[in-house]
Amino acid sequence: MTLWQPVSASVWQGRDDRAEASNALRLFQTVRQCEHFTPGASGIALIGFACDEGVRRNHGRPGAALAPDVLRSALANMASHQGHDRLWDMGSIYVEGEALEAAQQALSDAVLACQKSGMRTLVLGGGHETAWAHGRGVLDAFANERVAIVNLDAHLDLRNADRSTSGTPFRQLARYCAAQSREFQYACLGVSRAANTEALWDEAARLNVTLVEDLRFSQDALSSLEKVLAQADRIYLTIDLDVLPAEEMPAVSAPAALGISARELLPVIECICRSGKLQAADLVEFNPQYDRDGQGARLAARLAWQIAHWWA
C-alpha cells in the first residue's frame, strides 16, 4: 500500500481501570492496531487521511492534516462498549508535497480493499477532499448497487475547478457516476444558503440533490432522510464538522455562523447507523490548530464513538 503508514503506538494511550472490573475497558485497550495494511473479513476499518492540500487549494485555513492522530488520541480514553471492539486501526494515508491526487487514489484503493474484504470504513480526514477518494472507493466496491451519499454540511461542495479541492468532491463524484451511466444520489443536510452562491444552488438543482437548509433542519431532516434511505442499498455518510455551530466546533477551516448543534445532528446520525445500510462514514475538516482546550477534538471523537456504537 503506497503512501500508507501505521499509527504510532504512542497515539493510543489512556487510563487503565481493569483493577476495578474485567470489562472496565477503554478504546485504547480494545482497538486492534495493524502494523501492515491487511484488511480483515469483518469489522470497522479506521483509516486516517492526513491531508489538507485540498483545503489549501480552496483558499482555506490549512491544518487538517494533523487531525487523524489528534482524533485517535481523543478517542483512545473513551470507554469501550458494545461495537467498539470491531474497530481496526488500519493506519493513515498521507500526501507527499502537493500530490493530492495520488493520495486520493491511495485512499480509494485502501477503501476498496477494505470494503471488498468485508469491512466497513470509518475515515478521519483531512479536508473534504477526503470525500472524493472515500466515495469513489465505496462506489467501486458496490458497482451494481444504489449508493446514496448523505453529507451533513454547511456547504454543497459542488464547485467547478480544474483540479481537486476540498470544495469539489461531490461534483467529482457526480461526474464519476455520469461516466458510468449511474444515478448520482446525493443529499446535503444542514446546508447554509448564506454560505453557497446561487451558482452552487443551481448546480444542486441540476443534479437533483436532496437539500435541507440549516433553518429547516429540525423540521425536515429526518423526513428527508427517510426518503433517501428508502431509495438506497448502501449509504456513505460524510460529516463536515463545519456543520456545527462555531461555539461547539471552533476547530475548522470555515466556522459556521449559525450551524446545527450536535444534539440535533445525533438523531439523524443514529437513524443512518441503525438503518442497516451504512457502509462507510467519515469526519472531515477538523483543524487542531484552531481548537480551544481540546473542545473540538472531544466533540468530533464523540461523534466517531457514537457511529461505531450505533453501527448496525
pLDDT for position 174: 98
| Residue range of the domain that includes 83 | 4-310
pLDDT for position 312: 78
Amino acid in position 87 = L
Q: Which residue has the cell 492522530?
A: 69
The CATH number of the domain where 19 resides is what? 3.40.800.10
Asked if pLDDT for residue 1 goes beyond 80, the answer is no
DSSP string, 155-207: S------SS--TT-HHHHHHHHHHHTT---EEEEEEE-GGGS-HHHHHHHHHT
For residues 46 and 75, give the distance between their C-alpha atoms in angstroms, rounded to a whole number.
12
For residues 15 and 153, give the distance between their C-alpha atoms in angstroms, rounded to a whole number.
34
For residues 19 and 13, give the distance between their C-alpha atoms in angstroms, rounded to a whole number.
17
Asked if pLDDT for residue 298 goes beyond 90, the answer is yes
Instruction: Convert the pLDDT of each residue in 183-213 to its tens digit.
Output: 999 999 999 999 999 999 999 999 999 999 9
For residues 75 and 86, give the distance between their C-alpha atoms in angstroms, rounded to a whole number.
14
pLDDT (average), residues 106-124: 98
Instruction: Convert the pLDDT of each residue in 251-290 to its tens digit.
Output: 999 999 899 999 999 999 999 999 999 999 999 999 999 9
Cis peptide before 126 (omega within 30 of 0): yes
Assign 168 a pLDDT band (cuts: 50, 70, 90).
Answer: very high
Instruction: Convert the pLDDT of each residue in 202-247 to its tens digit.
Output: 999 999 999 999 999 999 999 999 999 999 999 999 999 999 999 9
pLDDT for position 2: 81
Report the number of distinct structural domains present in the chain: 1
For residues 208 and 217, give the distance between their C-alpha atoms in angstroms, rounded to a whole number.
19
For residues 5 and 269, give the distance between their C-alpha atoms in angstroms, rounded to a whole number.
30
State phi, psi for 139 to the nearest 5 degrees: -60, -40
Instruction: Quote the mean pLDDT of the chain.
Output: 97
Length of the chain: 312
Q: Which residue has the cell 465505496?
A: 138
Instruction: Convert the pLDDT of each residue in 2-59 to its tens digit.
Output: 899 999 989 999 999 999 999 999 999 999 999 999 999 999 999 999 999 999 999 9
Q: How far is CA 308 from the centre of its chain?
A: 12
